[in-house]
Chain A
Amino acid sequence: MNAVLEFRGRIIKSGRAEGEALVSSQPISFYGGVDPDTGVIREKGHELEGKSIAGKILIFPHGKGSTVGSYIIYRLKKKGMAPSAIINQRCEPIVAVGAIISDIPAVDCVDTNKFKNGDWIKIEDGKIIVMRR
């Protein structure tokens, strides 16, 4: 049976997206922490180390690290390796600017602990619909 959950967040970058959730309880640094050509997390010891964020609905508490991270998100998008959407607990400027310049839907003010890897997620602006097996 599929459980359906619905959340409402704050729109950082409006848009619609649908895909599989990739969830991290740790913050993500795009500059240095994500391979800009493949979308694979490469930060040593990160809980998502070795996983690809490409095409995923990427869910993490907030960004960290250098502001150059915004350009890394942009590069991922140009290469087709960006997440299809971003959900944050509390978005900060690096991720916000990255999402906006790359046209990636982004929502924050959502409890990111509520999501599980493999959830199927639909985002329609601030509305988040979660389908879970």
Chain B
Amino acid sequence: MYLSKEEERMLFGEFGYAVQKAMEILVALGKIYDAKKLVPVTSAHISGVSYVNVGEDGLEFLEELASDGRVLVKTTLNPTGMDLDRWSFMGINREFAENQLRVIDVYKRMGIEITCTCTPYLVGNAPNLGDHIAWSESSAVVYANSVIGARTNRESGISALATAITGKTPFYGLHIEENRQPTVEVRVPQPNGEFEFACLGIVVGRLVGDCIPLFRGILHAEPDELKALGAALASVGGVPMFHVEGITPEAEKYTDRTMERLTLTHSDIMSVREEYADEVDPELIFLGCPHLSLTELKRIALSLVKKNVRKRLWLCCSKQVKLEADRLGITQIVEAAGATIVCDTCPVVAPIRDLGISTIATNSAKGAWYSRNLNNLSVRLLSTEECIREATE
């Protein structure tokens, strides 16, 4: 791999410990993936924030990096294990909270914005078409590549941080134009709403693995629907990017249509519901995986007007979206009904079993998948309307 004079000096430690470590990581990754050079990035997004996943070891490493490491580009942070302001209300104990705050503090010292959301693109980390970026968090990666047209591989929290500290990433994979071509065509009937897009994501993710699907037959799609589709594709299948003909920015760029074809019916797509239909009474119903946009939160609030929430209902979003909701009076409606807006976190990365929760219902395909496979919860996958009904009746 070619390194410029300056990059070599970074690797030899002339810019301090953190830059050297970060450069060693990037050069090793470059070797593994046969990158010819490093390219500058405009933005980074870091996962590995919840104390559940970072632990004491991760924290010790991050402390070492923070001794002299500072980020050079706009860098945002993924959800943490708790609502940073209302952790006690969530049922989090003080010991966990203190450890979690140490993780937050070390990221803050490196100059990272404490956004604590899996939707950085909704809170100002908004790259442009064609920008090279380094994001971790699979749902954000797939959104950035597919909907924004920025270029990122599926980074780990550590490799994204290494890029944030050096401003560079190895040039391979999805940074290279020809690797962004669709590799499988998927013909589908128009899905309706976020929930059906999410179900489509699960079914296709399972069929195509880590390929790049090109969807045909979708005539309209809201950003929130594409967010749900991508999150499911990325968590179940490892899909780094998708195209939707007529909708996403790079779909028409690639004219080679000699790829494998799949055709799905509406009932193929919705069949996934039956797999997540555990016969349980959910102790928690949550919406917002990935985090809710203001538009989604507003729609949920409208459906809660004059309703009475009888079960624990969490609406998960970023702090920034919550602040906007406060101003618009949305929070008031939601809280009057008895639901809770939970910021900075979600049931996937919070110490959910320690909160005494073993059964959940959600409208998120990704949330359902991780809740079952990572947190061993019983799960019911329901549409947004059904979730609201479940919580209020």
Contacts and interface: CB of A to CB of B under 8 A. Distances in A.
Contact of A100 (B24, B55, B156): B24
Contact of A96 (B32, B48, B53): B32
A33 interface: no
A21 interface: no
A121 interface: no
A97 B27 CA distance: 10
B31 A12 contact: yes
Contacts of A13: 24, 28
Interface string B1-39: 000000000000000000001001100110110000000
A97 B21 CA distance: 10
B35 to A, nearest CB: 13
Main secondary structure of the interface of A (DSSP, over half): helix
Interface residues of B, number: 20
Contacts of B156: 67, 70, 93-94, 97
Contacts of B29: 93, 96-97
A67 B157 contact: yes
Contacts of A97: 25, 28-29, 156, 158-159
Interface stretch (A40-48, A53-61, A72-80, A112-120): A72-80
B55 A71 contact: yes
A27 to B, nearest CB: 15
A36 B54 CA distance: 14
A100 B25 contact: yes
Interface stretch (B57-65, B77-85, B258-266, B375-383): B57-65
B61 A74 contact: yes
Contact of B31 (A10, A70, A74): A10
A4 interface: no
A75 B28 contact: no
A101 B28 CA distance: 12
A92 B156 CA distance: 12
A67 B158 contact: yes
Contacts of B158: 67, 70, 97, 101
A17 to B, nearest CB: 17
Given A74-B60, A78-B57, A100-B28, 9 more contacts: A13-B28, A67-B157, A68-B48, A68-B53, A71-B58, A74-B57, A91-B28, A93-B156, A93-B159
23 contacts: A10-B31, A12-B31, A36-B57, A68-B58, A70-B156, A71-B55, A72-B57, A74-B61, A78-B57, A78-B60, A91-B28, A91-B32, A93-B29, A93-B32, A94-B156, A96-B28, A97-B28, A97-B156, A97-B159, A100-B24, A100-B28, A101-B21, A101-B25
